[in-house]
């Protein structure tokens, strides 16, 4: 298996030289694109869209048809894993994801088991295979999952939360039950990501969206150690090619060195940390991904270009180890043409920087 024709994303994750700084965007396939909204309408519901391999493939490819992106990311949802555990995922209009059977009772937590990704999540594997075929080795495909702690937040709360009161009460009152949830979920995520790799994903990412809301000690115990376990269990090579992994904790800048030490190839950064400072702190241990504030994309094209260049300048000289991204997911209200400005600026300016350094 050869690398994709445009392999800059994979090269950056592995700290190999690139001819420009590669770029992709978290939530690059989503509601800010009118073509996505049309496909979502045809699907009838968000879950139908996620569970249709052909529609998931269609949506995954939509932003690549518009923009010169350096990677595709599987269109799915982090909550497919707890749904496969039998918690009954549904989406209430205007309220976001909810579970019919949140994990509150001890018996339910003790009975929790890891799903077989080739059985209970076969639609995801079918989508990965279909997307890889459709990409025809042009750019790499990223697979992903939520982190055990982030998934546990939804599984215990039963949906989104402002304060994660039920989760944190369990952490402090019944840490044994929380560790049981996290252990089963870590096993589930490991097998899920490995199945995505076997199905064709060429890199994988763990989204720890809510780990940054933990105390320093609780983050180490209830989030980071389980991501370390997952990374250790991932397939590292497939068909003669390295399969790099990215770990992203929103609000995790305080623990950057600890995250970089868990064995992943790259650390994702939100916009609250200077990427140059992050590079100095982690050295050559990992690549870095990030980290433009998503709200910059509401500004004028001129300001978008200025802010994108600031990130590239802050990262500093050299042509290795940086994947440009937003510091979190793109907003549904983002003007699509502003993304064009961002992509073109990052590619053109990073090439200029390389030419100046040559």
Which residues belong to the active site? 27, 31, 40, 77, 154
Residue 358: count other Cβ atoms within 10 Å of its Cβ: 6
| Cα dihedral value 36, 40, 41, 42, nearest 10 | 100
Question: What H or E segment, with its residue span, contains residue 99?
Answer: strand 96-99
C-alpha radius of gyration, the chain, whole number: 19
Residues 6+ apart with CB under 8 A from 46: 40, 77, 91
Q: Which residues make beta-bridge pairs with 73?
A: 142
Q: Which residues make beta-bridge pairs with 268?
A: 248, 289
Helices (H), 200-255: 216-219, 225-233
Contact 223, 262 (CB under 8 A): no
Q: What is the DSSP letter of 26?
A: T
Measured distance CA(332)–CA(353) in Å, rounded: 32
Query: Residue 196 in 3-state DSSP?
Result: helix
Q: 322-323 and 89-92 as β-strands: parallel, antiparallel, unpaired?
A: unpaired
Contact 148, 224 (CB under 8 A): no
Q: Where are the beta strands (DSSP E) in 244-286?
A: 245-249, 266-268
Residue entry with tokens 């989508």: 127
């Amino acid at each position: 298996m050869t690398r994709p024709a445009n392999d800059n994303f994979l090269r950056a994750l592995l700290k190999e030289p690139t001819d420009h700084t590669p770029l992709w965007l978290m939530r690059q396939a989503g509601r800010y694109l009118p073509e996505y909204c049309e496909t979502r309408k045809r699907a009838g519901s968000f879950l139908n869209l996620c569970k249709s391999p052909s529609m998931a493939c269609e949506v995954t490819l939509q932003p690549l048809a518009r923009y010169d992106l350096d990677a595709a990311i599987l269109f799915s949802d982090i909550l497919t894993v707890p749904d496969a555990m039998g918690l009954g995922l549904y989406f209430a209009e205007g309220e976001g994801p909810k579970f019919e059977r949140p994990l509150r009772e001890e018996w339910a937590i003790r009975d929790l088991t890891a799903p077989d990704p080739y059985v209970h999540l076969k639609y995801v594997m079918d989508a990965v295979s279909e997307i890889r075929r459709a990409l025809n080795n042009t750019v790499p495909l990223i697979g992903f999952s939520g982190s055990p702690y982030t998934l546990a937040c939804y599984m215990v709360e039963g949906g989104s939360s402002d304060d994660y009161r039920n989760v944190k009460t369990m952490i402090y009152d019944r840490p044994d039950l929380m560790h049981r949830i996290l252990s089963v979920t870590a096993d589930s995520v490991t097998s899920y990501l490995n199945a995505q790799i076997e199905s064709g994903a060429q890199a994988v990412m763990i989204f720890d969206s809510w780990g940054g809301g933990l105390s320093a000690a609780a983050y180490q115990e209830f989030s980071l150690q389980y991501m370390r376990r997952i990374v250790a269990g991932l397939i590292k090579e497939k068909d003669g090619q390295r399969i790099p992994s990215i770990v992203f904790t929103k609000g995790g800048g305080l623990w950057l060195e600890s995250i970089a030490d868990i064995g992943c190839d790259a650390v994702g950064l939100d916009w609250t940390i200077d990427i140059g400072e992050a590079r100095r702190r982690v050295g050559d241990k990992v690549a870095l991904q990030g980290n433009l504030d998503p709200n910059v994309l509401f500004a004028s094209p001129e300001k978008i270009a200025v802010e994108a260049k600031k990130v590239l300048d802050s990262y500093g000289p050299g042509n290795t180890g940086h994947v440009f991204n937003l510091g979190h997911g793109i907003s549904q209200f983002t003007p699509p043409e502003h993304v064009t400005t961002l992509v073109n600026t990052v590619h053109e300016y990073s090439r200029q920087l390389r030419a100046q350094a040559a």
